Chains A and B, each alone.
Chain A
Amino acid sequence: MAKAAGVVAAIAAAGVLIGFYISGYLVGNTKVFRPTAQGRSVHLTIETVAAVGPQLAPHPDWVSYLVRDTSGHWRRTTIWTLPAHALVHVTIYNFDSASGLRNPLLGRPTGLVGSELVDGKPLTVLPPDQPSHTFAVPELGVLVPIAPVADDAKNTCGYAPCPLSNAHRTITFTFRTGKPGHYRWQCFVPCAAGFLYGFGGPMQTVGYMDGFLNVV
């Protein structure tokens, strides 16, 4: 009897450890970020970087999104709590070069309130060889292609966090959150260097190129 109980306890312990390992891998140890809302309006400031760096992640060479917190620090978290039926004004500073889309359709911005602006100019469509990344919330119909830093740009950023003195593109857009829910967002560009078809590692781990919008 004692032996059976020991076996059961060992299996349970192993299950818990495996569960922690898998969940830790999937969520990438990310934490929830809640930007300050002004009524039904929220501002998000984001960086997209080619290498997240050793300060912010256990995988310094992984591509990543970062978000700026209220104290001005860049944080590696991709789970954001947003108010329902709110306008979310987003500014993305992109420090990465082009990777290109598998599906050219995703070069067309959709689901936005107004236009997507790239360096202040409205974007109709981004050619498929251009996007560095996308910011997409499929359930909300939101898709934003992110224009790249030129391959021959000077003063490119190495490891994040990247200051605005480095070569970058500025993408601004607004979308509406809609009803309360748990919406995933993701990048559709196969931008994970060193992984099969560019879609492993940071593309399959929450906390880098994927996340959730907790709309409450």
Chain B
Amino acid sequence: MTTAPRDGVIANDGHGRRFVIAFIVLSVIATPLVAIFVGPLFPPGNGSAQAHEQVFDNTWLVAIMTPPAVFVVVFLLYALVSFRSRSAAVVDGPPIRGDARIQAVWMAATGIIVLFLAGFGSYELVQSGSGGGQGPNPAFTPAGASKAMDVQVIAQQWEFTYRYPSYGGVEVPHLVLPANTLIRLHVTSLDAIHSFWAYQLGVKADANPGVDNVAYVQTKGPMTFDIHCAELCGLWHGYMFDTGQVVDASRFASWIKQQRTYFGPVVKYLPKYSTIYLPDPQRRAG
């Protein structure tokens, strides 16, 4: 494979063809393997329809990026092996000149990838909002959104609390959701800017004071999920986490009944339910 210098220049001995063949063969092998075996391992898992969609999206993304990654790796390895200098003589590589075909292929390939990703991402977003906060008037709602169960997420320094308007407006310190139910989360804040991130549910929505940030999530079977604040919000930001639960319908009914009993005495002091949560604070100190 040694290329003999001719007139001080390394000859082009069909490297391009060999490289392209290697790239195509390896891409054809690697792309389905990555999509089948690696993609499903990507976060956030299969905890909700939105999380499942995100895994699907991530699988496509990683599959699409596989050929470019193969290109880079193969090119690097090929160059290391083929063009490694085996003598002390310093010689030039072949002169690089413009090649309209290569440029056209490069522009077309990258253009197609970018346009496909834009279209694919937009289509996925339109389906259900992909678990993201969409502000007070969501444009992308999942099927059956009019019958979704409302749950308000209230952030404050430094914990989340949750209000269930269809259950007497009871507010509780832990999030429990019924399985196989479409939930409409109304995320807001009492003070600073926070971000509600229910990791395994694939939900992430900013919590801003005075703002109703709506996110949809379609729960699946019973599970626990992690809740974190994803916006630096002060001293205990790192401790602003909780564990939520998805439970079956009967267990949810029992749980919400208990909560309404226990927190019943404080309901009369809560502000009337609204999509934003602005109690009448006695802010003596500010």
Chain A residues packing against B (C-beta within 8 Å) = 26, 98-105, 107-108, 110, 124-125, 127-129, 136, 138-139, 141, 143, 184, 186, 188, 190-199, 203-206, 210
Nearest A residue to B286 via CB reads A198
Are B279 and A98 in contact, with the CB atoms below 8 A? no
Given contacts A102-B191, A107-B269, A197-B286, 9 further A-B contacts (CB under 8 A): A99-B282, A102-B281, A139-B239, A184-B236, A186-B158, A188-B156, A190-B285, A196-B286, A198-B285
Please determine whether B265 and A108 come into contact, CB atoms closer than 8 angstroms.
yes
Q: Which of B171, B265, B285 contacts A124 (CB 8 A)?
A: B265
Q: Which B214-273 residues have a C-beta within 8 angstroms of A?
A: 234-236, 239, 242, 262-263, 265-266, 269-271
Q: Decide if A100 touches B236 in the complex (CB within 8 Å).
A: no
A204 neighbours in B (Cβ, 8 Å)? 234-235
The 8 residue pairs across chains A and B that have the minimum distance between CB atoms: A100-B282, A198-B285, A104-B269, A198-B286, A108-B266, A193-B285, A204-B235, A125-B265
Distance in angstroms from A203 CB to nearest chain B CB is 7
Question: In the complex, what residues of B have CB within 8 A of residue A125's CB?
Answer: 265-266, 269
Contact assessment for B157 and A99 in the assembled complex, using a CB-CB cutoff below 8 Å: no
Chain B residues with CB under 8 A of A105: 161, 171-173, 263, 266, 270
A206 to B236 Cα, complex, angstroms = 10
Instruction: Give the shortest distance, in Å, between B258 (CB) and chain A (any CB).
Output: 12
CB under 8 Å from chain A, chain B span 133-163 = 154, 156-159, 161
Chain A residues with CB under 8 Å of B282's CB are 98-101, 128-129
B283 within 8 A of A: yes
CA distance A192 to B191 in the complex (A): 14
Contact A98 B284 (CB under 8 A): yes
Q: Chain B residues with Cβ under 8 A from A192's Cβ? A: 285-286
**B175 within 8 A of partner (CB):** no
Whose C-beta in chain A lies nearest to the C-beta of B160? Answer: A138
Instruction: Collect the chain A residues with CB atoms within 8 Å of residue B235's CB.
Output: 26, 203-206, 210
Give Cα A104–Cα B170 distance, bound, in whole angstroms.
12
Known: A108-B266, A186-B158. A99 touches B173 (CB 8 A): no
| Cα of A87 to Cα of B257 in the assembled complex, Å | 29
Could you name 6 residue pairs across A and B whose Cβ atoms are closer than 8 Å? A99-B283, A102-B279, A110-B173, A143-B173, A194-B286, A198-B285
